[in-house]
Amino acid sequence: MSLRTQLSLLYALLAGVILAVLGLIVYTLVSVILVDQIDRSLTQTAHALISCTRVNAAGEIAIESIPSLGATSTTYIQFWDTRGKLKASSDNLGNLQLSLDPNGLRYPTTVFRDTRLNQASLRVLSVPLQVEGRRMAVLQVGTNREIVDQLQQILATVLGIALAISITMAALYGWLGTGLVLAPLEKATLAARNIANKDDLSRRIPNVSQKNEIGILIEAFNQTLDRLEDIFNKQKRFIADVSHELRTPLTVIKGNAGLLRKMKVPDEESLQGIETEVDRLTRMVGDLLLLAQGEAGRLELNMQPVDLDVLLLEVLQQAKVLSGGKVGFQIADIEQVRVSGDRDRLKQVMINLITNAVKYTPAGGQVGLSIKNVESQAQLMISDTGPGIPAADLPHIFERFYRGDKARTRPADGSSYGLGLSIVDWIIKCHGGRIEVKSREGVGTIFLVWLPLAGGM
C-alpha cells in the first residue's frame, strides 16, 4: 500500500471518528431536549390534575372532574386506585381499561417511562397520590412520542448521510492533498532512480519545497550526493595517484633487474637503486595502511598526558641532526603546555611538519618553532622561509598524493609522495584539534596546530 493511500485512509478514518463522536453528541442532546420538553408538559398537566382532586368523607381520593387543559388527542390521562381499578380517564382513551404503564403503577415515587400501548409509543408520567404518607391512588399522564421517534430517526439518517459524505470527501481531499504534497517526493524518487541507473553522481534533485520536511529530505539527499561525488572523485584521483607513484619505482626496479641480468658481476649502483625504491614503496604502503586503519576506526590511540614543550625540544634535537646544518632553527616562544594524546602520534606530527619545512626551505633559511597557550588551547607553530604555497593549492595540501609542484619542487631523492600532511591532518583531528596553514609565495609558510589542553591546565 502506497504512502498516499495510507494517508488518505488515515484522514478518512480520523474524519469519520471525529464526525461520529460529534454526531452522537448532537443526537443525544437533541433527544434529551425533546424528551425534556415532553416531560415538562406532562409534569404541568399532572400538577393541574392534582389540584382538581379531593379526599372524600370515606378517606378516598375523589376526582371532581378532568378539566379541559387544552390537551391534544395525543395526551392521555388515567386515575387508578390502590386496588388497580380505573377511577377516571380522559375522553380520548374511550373505554380502554388497560393502564398506560402497568409497571409505573407499582413505583413508590414519581417516574417517567417509555412504553408501548397497542403499537403506539408513549411517554408516561406515573405520580403516586398520598395523603399523610398513605398511598391513595396513582395518576398517569401520557403522550404519544411518535413525533420524537420520527425526529430521532430523521436526525440519525441525516447524520449518517453527512458522516458518509464527510468521510468520502475527507478521503478524496486526502488523496488529492497528499498527491500535491508528495509530488516533490515522487520527483525526487524518479531523479534518484535515474541517478542510480545512469551512475551520474553529478546530477541533483531539484528542490521546490525547501521549507517543509520533504524539502529538508531532498536537501539532505543532495548533500549526501555531494559527499558521495566528492568521495568517488577522491577515490578515482587516489587510484590514479597511486598508479602514478607506483609506476616510477616499479620501472626503476624492473630496469635495474634487467641490467643485473645482463651483467655477470652485480652492479652496486643498480642494487642500491632497487633497495631505495623498495624502501620508498614500503614507506608508502605503511602510510597508506596507517590512514586506512585510522579511517576504519581500527587504529587505537594511547591517550595520556603529554608535555608538548618537552616533546618539541626532543624532536628539535633530531631535526637538527637530520638537517645537517642546511637551515637554522629559531624558537620564538616555548611555554609549558600539556595535552591529552598519543605521544608517538603527536611526535609523528611534529617530525612530519618540521621535516617538511626543512625540505622546502633553501639552504641558509630559517625554520621557526613556537608552542604556547592561547585562549585555553595549545598552539604549535612551525614556519619556514621557503617558496610558499600558491593560493590555488592551499585547499588541497592535506589531500593524499597532492603536491604543489609548481611552488615546491619534489625532492630529488623521491622521498616525498604526498601522504605526510594527510597523516598529520588525520592525527590532529583524532586528538580533537585542527590545523591551519598560511602561506605567501616567495615569503614562506606557517603551519598552526591547535590542540585542546589536558584537564587542569
Could you tell me the pTM of the whole model? 0.46
Whether residue 214 has pLDDT greater than 70:
yes
Using N-to-C axis directions, what is the helix angle for 268-295 and 420-430, rounded to 10°? 30
| DSSP-H helix ranges across 263-384 | 268-295, 308-323, 343-359
DSSP 3-state assignment of 306? Answer: strand
Amino acid at position 452, single letter: P
For the chain, give every domain's residue range.
3-151, 213-295, 304-452
Span 224-248, pLDDT tens digits: 878 877 777 766 666 666 665 666 6
Q: Are the beta carbons of 382 and 367 closer than 8 angstroms?
A: yes
Joined grid coordinates for residue 370: 613556537
20-47 mean pLDDT = 89
Span 92-128, pLDDT tens digits: 777 888 888 888 888 888 889 888 888 788 888 888 8
444-454 mean pLDDT = 91
Using only C-alpha atoms, the chain has a radius of gyration, in whole angstroms, of: 50
Cα separation, 330 vs 344, in Å, equals: 24
Cα separation, 381 vs 370, in Å, equals: 5
Cα separation, 356 vs 319, in Å, equals: 11
The reported pLDDT for the residue numbered 445 is 92
CA distances from 54 to 50, 131, 201, 450 (A): 9, 10, 103, 110
**Beta pairing partners, 88:** 79
187-202 mean pLDDT = 74
Reported as a pLDDT band with limits 50, 70 and 90, residue 69 is: very low
Give the domain 304-452 fold.
Heat Shock Protein 90 (3.30.565)
Span 403-445, pLDDT tens digits: 554 444 444 444 454 677 888 888 888 888 999 999 988 889 9
Q: Which percentage of the chain shows pLDDT scores above 90?
A: 11
Q: How many CB atoms lie within 10 A of CB 13?
A: 14
The reported pLDDT for the residue numbered 401 is 63
Q: For residue 79, what is the enclosing H or E element?
A: strand 75-81
Q: Give long-range contacts, CB 8 A cutoff, 24+ apart: 285-291.
A: 287/419, 287/420, 287/423, 288/242, 288/419, 290/423, 291/400, 291/419, 291/422, 291/423, 291/426
What is the strand order of the sheet 86-89 is part of? 86-89, 75-81, 134-144, 120-131, 111-117
What average pLDDT is seen over the chain? 79
144 backbone dihedrals φ, ψ, rounded to 5° = -75, 125
Task: Classify domain 213-295 by CATH architecture.
Answer: Orthogonal Bundle (1.10)
Give the domain 3-151 fold.
Beta-Lactamase (3.30.450)
CA distances from 233 to 10, 238, 240, 369 (A): 45, 8, 10, 36
Span 140-190, pLDDT tens digits: 888 888 888 888 889 899 989 988 988 888 888 888 877 777 777 777 777
Cα separation, 250 vs 227, in Å, equals: 34
Q: Are the beta carbons of 412 and 428 closer than 8 angstroms?
A: no
